[in-house]
């Protein structure tokens, strides 16, 4: 299958080029030339399929001819070594727990799949691959741990100083080896801008074999669709309409859900739930896309003022605003509303949500009927936001053993301002 640039549909490359380049030469994001639809037989057998079998069937449609079956099976099995269970919270509402991977966040799925794919491609060439990634929280930890000690790769994580939780920071600044953390004096949008500028710099691209592991990379996006199929298969009420509420920042997770829907998964409604960085909900209501500087919130992984994957959402609907707004509804919630939701759900149902999951939970409130079942995405373990969650629920959270181990290690990062020339000089000497 070919992959085209969202900035120029005539610019097409193969899978290997799309994955290694990460970002198209013209600054666009890569999209598959067509969205394959899974056969009716797949959906008939879906409840009986394992997570690995689901992942293979979905990935095969995009990767066949580019990756041998045996290698694809290894990648999928490596990616899906942990489950994504929909846990009943109350009434018609379920939490899709995406935090059972090694860094306790949903991005483990995409990062592990991408590391397998890039590791496979690295074996086909003599040059080392340098992976640049900007993070507002969990991307950095997932990518760093996914690529840690993968032969033929080096990882540089850019993150905004003071704007990620200590636990998140420790998960990617304590590894060493082939992982380097750059602590940027700025916002996530500054980090994302620097990564994009690096990909657009001819001199850097001549010296380094650059790629990205952000959700701008199509290989990060595809595996995020796996757990929508898995959730649908595990729900006890498949005859009901299924509504997914997705806490959204850079919109890769929601875009993956829309991809699953266009592949045939009968999702009734997608909810784009945001914090005060409500650029996409505003667009869904007005038709006007107006990026702005991000605002800091307690759901920091969603503090994005110019979401990259918005253009992919548009491409999936061929810029048809009416069709998009039928399938996707938007909503936004304040920090106070987020804290209140965490407190009430914990008090009344003894279910602990992190701030991002709480926004997803709130997103279901206006969109459920007697015929529907609601699923909100719980994207990270609440312990990763220990201080905020404990304060909200007025109770103590025990850290999982994996987080205890990270917290005991020494942070190692390089501080840098948000100017591109400093980043370029660093990478040229890297």
- Checking 359-362 for CB contacts under 8 A at 24+ apart, the result is 359/247, 359/273, 359/274, 359/275, 359/299, 359/302, 359/333, 360/245, 360/246, 360/247, 360/271, 360/273, 361/89, 361/93, 361/95, 361/245, 362/273, 362/331, 362/333, 362/337, 362/338
Q: Which two tokens stand for residue 113?
A: 């799949």
Neighbouring-strand partners of residue 105: 380
**Contact of 163 with 187, CB cutoff 8 Å:** yes
**Of the listed 2, 64, 107, 205, which one is catalytic?**
107
Q: Cα(393)–Cα(16) distance, rounded to whole angstroms?
A: 47
264 three-state secondary structure:
coil
407 three-state secondary structure:
helix
Q: How many CA atoms lie within 13 A of 263 on its CB side?
A: 23
Q: Is 261 a catalytic residue?
A: no
User: Cα 363 vs. chain centroid, distance in angstroms?
Assistant: 18
Q: Which two tokens stand for residue 38?
A: 């899974």
Taken in order 398, 163, 362, 222, is the CA torsion positive or negative? Answer: negative
96 three-state secondary structure:
strand
- Find, among 13, 116, 115, 32, the residue nearest to 70 by Cα: 116
Catalytic residues: 107
């Amino acid at each position: 299958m070919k992959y085209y640039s969202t900035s120029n549909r005539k610019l097409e490359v193969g899978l290997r080029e799309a994955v290694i380049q990460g970002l198209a030469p013209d600054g666009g994001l890569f999209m598959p030339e067509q969205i394959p639809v899974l056969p009716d037989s797949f959906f008939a057998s879906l409840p009986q399929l394992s997570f690995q079998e689901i992942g293979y069937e979905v990935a095969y449609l995009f990767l066949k001819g580019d990756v041998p079956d045996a290698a694809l099976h290894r990648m999928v099995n490596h990616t899906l070594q942990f489950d994504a269970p929909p846990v009943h919270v109350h009434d018609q509402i379920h939490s899709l727990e995406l935090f059972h991977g090694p860094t306790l966040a949903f991005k483990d799925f995409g990062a592990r799949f991408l590391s397998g794919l890039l590791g496979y491609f690295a074996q086909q060439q003599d040059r080392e691959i340098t992976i640049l990634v900007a993070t507002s929280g969990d991307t950095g930890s997932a990518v760093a741990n996914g690529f840690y000690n993968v032969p033929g790769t080096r990882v540089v994580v850019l993150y905004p100083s003071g704007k990620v939780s200590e636990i998140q920071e420790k998960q990617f600044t304590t590894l060493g080896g082939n992982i380097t953390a750059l602590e940027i004096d700025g916002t996530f949008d500054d980090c994302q801008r620097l990564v994009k500028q690096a990909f657009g710099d001819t001199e850097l691209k001549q010296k380094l074999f650059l790629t990205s592991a952000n959700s701008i990379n199509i290989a990060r996006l595809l595996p995020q669709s796996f757990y929508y199929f898995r959730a649908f298969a595990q729900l006890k009420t498949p005859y009901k309409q299924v509504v997914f509420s997705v806490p959204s920042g850079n919109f890769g997770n929601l875009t993956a859900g829309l991809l699953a829907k266009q592949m045939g998964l009968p999702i009734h409604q997608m909810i784009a739930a945001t914090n005060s960085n409500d650029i996409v909900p505003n667009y869904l209501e007005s038709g006007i896309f107006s990026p702005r500087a991000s605002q800091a919130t307690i759901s920091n992984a969603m503090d994005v003022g110019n979401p990259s994957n918005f253009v992919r959402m548009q491409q999936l609907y061929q810029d048809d605003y009416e069709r998009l707004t039928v399938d996707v509804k938007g909503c936004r919630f304040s920090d106070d509303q987020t804290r209140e939701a965490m407190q009430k759900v914990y008090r009344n149902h003894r279910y602990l949500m992190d701030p991002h999951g709480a926004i997803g939970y709130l997103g279901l409130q206006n969109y459920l009927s007697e015929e529907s079942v609601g699923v909100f995405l719980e994207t990270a373990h609440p312990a990763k936001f220990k201080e905020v969650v404990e304060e909200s629920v007025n109770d103590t959270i025990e850290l999982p053993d994996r987080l205890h181990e990270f917290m005991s290690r020494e942070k190692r990062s390089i501080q840098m301002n948000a100017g591109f020339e400093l980043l370029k000089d660093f990478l040229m000497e890297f």
